[in-house]
Amino acid sequence: MGAPDGERLGPYHLLSTLGAGGFGEVHLALDPEGHTVAVKILHPHVAADRTALARLAREVETMRRVQGPYVAEVLDASLEGARPYLVTRYVQGRPLSAVVAGDGPVGGDDLVRLARGLAEALAAVHAAGVVHRDLKPANVILTDGEPVVIDFGIACALDSASVTVSGAILGTPGYLAPEVLEGADSGAEADLFSLGATLAYASTGRHPYGTGPPSAVGYRVVHHAPDLEGVPGWLEPLLQECLRRDPAARPSAAELLDRLGAAGPAVHTAIPRARPSTAATGGRGAVRGQEATHLQDAAPHEAGGGVQELTTRQWRPGRRPAPGRLSAEEARERRRAVLHRRWIVGTGLLVSLMAAAAREPLPEVSLLLLTSYGLVTLVDGGIALFGRRDRSRVVVDLAGAAGAIALWAVLGTFFSTLTLALALGTVVFVLVAILMAS
């Protein structure tokens, strides 16, 4: 069902296939503003389940409210038509599963940051009324020294018989709570169990309920105690509480975050920046380029355990390491800055032409136009300066005012009033045509 590279899907330009899972195929894409995003195209058998799709549509509206530095926000969705898809923030980095498999257990200050970041991520997800349902090491990305949780809410929304096929387990045994394995609804308490298992794996390098066939791992989750040998002393009591069989006995994400602040040692150094690997994991073909990074869990039992959630292997094309995807607020600020520059240039050109055309027949009007434009740009720059906003806005305002005056002087000196009037009319006509076309 894959989409060819270079194809357009709605307003998004697909660049390359990043990975695939039980729900769909993930593509690196560009949004209309040129930002990289992850577009998740649902598999045909998922798109055909209208009940699950309607549930996902309702859940997406809630998922969009989840914001925070430790979550990959849902940016857009189109669940109508032959190829429904979701759009999330693109996260460049290595999954926790690949970091532990390649570099060994996480310890010291790195583990403190990881635990606090994951607890804060779940607190943000739960505060919006969303349940992750498939938190595991493969769905935690280490990027720029911090963990980012991906794919929250999708598994919970698409948990239906036709999507998961008969008798299959939606999720990863060993990280699913016992009540979920026994058929109960998945709530926020189940996410805390998954968080405890994820941190146990990160701190020891071992899956807390062992490996093997999914049925065997699931049996140990329900009936056996987790293997927490090697977990640091400050973290072990908290993981014991998260991994309790009784959901009501587990702490909430907010409570866990508060207790981590008190229990965890002081952080002195940041997590080392995740090193990009040279190829994507096998089984679905290699990803070309030196900036491909793993986002698939390296554990053998996870690869074959039940229906796997949609994951996002990260790849940034190009020769230079690109920065991480901007947050929604940063994207809005950048968009406002672009619109401001266009406004300054466009109005400056228009005012210069009008003032130059009126210079000889109506000198007072000419000076009034230039003065008004200069005052507007100075006020706008002053607000940006004293409001501690982007200082580059002040530079743009001052450059716009100076450029308008210089252009007015040049045009008024070398061109006649009739020529300037014709030029002004042409500019106005073009601007009106552009506005009507847009």
CA angle 190, 193, 195 (to 5 degrees): 110
Distance CA 263, CA 261 (A): 6
272 DSSP 8-state letter: P
Residue 226: HSE in the Cβ half-sphere, 13 Å Cα cutoff: 32
CATH number, position 260: 1.10.510.10
Question: Other CB atoms closer than 10 Å to residue 55's CB: what's the count?
Answer: 17
Same domain, 357 and 391: yes
Same domain, 194 and 308: yes
Q: What is the average pLDDT across 220-235? A: 94
Domain boundary among 317, 337, 369: 317
Inside any domain, residue 22? no
Determine what percent of the chain is predicted with pLDDT higher than 90: 29
Inside any domain, residue 14? no
Inside any domain, residue 26? no
Domain boundary among 264, 296, 317: 317
Same domain, 288 and 372: no
CA 320 from chain center: how many Å? 20
Domain count, the chain: 2
Inside any domain, residue 349? yes
Same domain, 361 and 291: no
* pLDDT tens, position by position, 164-211: 443 445 568 899 999 999 888 788 999 999 999 999 999 999 999 999
Inside any domain, residue 228? yes
Inside any domain, residue 299? yes
Same domain, 142 and 273: yes
Inside any domain, residue 12? no
Same domain, 279 and 422: no
Q: Say yes or no to pLDDT of 279 above 70.
A: no
Same domain, 305 and 377: no
Residue 283: its pLDDT value, please?
A: 33
Beta strands (DSSP E) in 92-250 are: 94-95, 140-143, 146-149
Residue 308, helix vs strand vs coil: coil
Same domain, 60 and 169: yes
Same domain, 67 and 140: yes
Residue 227: its pLDDT value, please?
A: 94
Residue 212: its pLDDT value, please?
A: 92
Inside any domain, residue 24? no
pLDDT band, residue 82 (cuts 50/70/90): confident
pLDDT band, residue 37 (cuts 50/70/90): very high
Determine what percent of the chain is predicted with pLDDT higher than 70: 74
Residue 390: its pLDDT value, please?
A: 61
Integer angstrom CA distances of residue 273 from 73, 94, 168, 173: 21, 10, 37, 30
Same domain, 117 and 229: yes
Beta strands (DSSP E) in 117-226 are: 140-143, 146-149
Sign of the alpha-carbon torsion through 40, 45, 48, 50:
negative
Q: Is 40 marked as binding a ligand?
A: yes
Distance CA 369, CA 433 (A): 24
The residue among 194, 272, 204, 273 whose CA lies nearest residue 235 is: 204
- With a threshold of 0.85, does the pTM exceed it? no
Same domain, 274 and 387: no
Which of 130-134, 137-141, 263-267, 319-323 is the least confident region?
Answer: 319-323
Token pair of 83, please?
């190829």
Q: Which residues are catalytic?
A: 134
* pLDDT tens, position by position, 310-341: 333 333 333 333 344 444 555 666 777 787 78
* pLDDT tens, position by position, 46-80: 777 787 777 777 778 788 888 889 998 888 888 88
Domain boundary among 291, 317, 343: 317
What range defines the domain where residue 253 resides?
A: 53-71+94-317
Q: Which residues of 7-39 are buried (b: 16+ CB within 10 A; e: fewer)?
A: eebeebbbbbbbbbbbbbbbbbbbbeeebbbbb
Same domain, 397 and 264: no
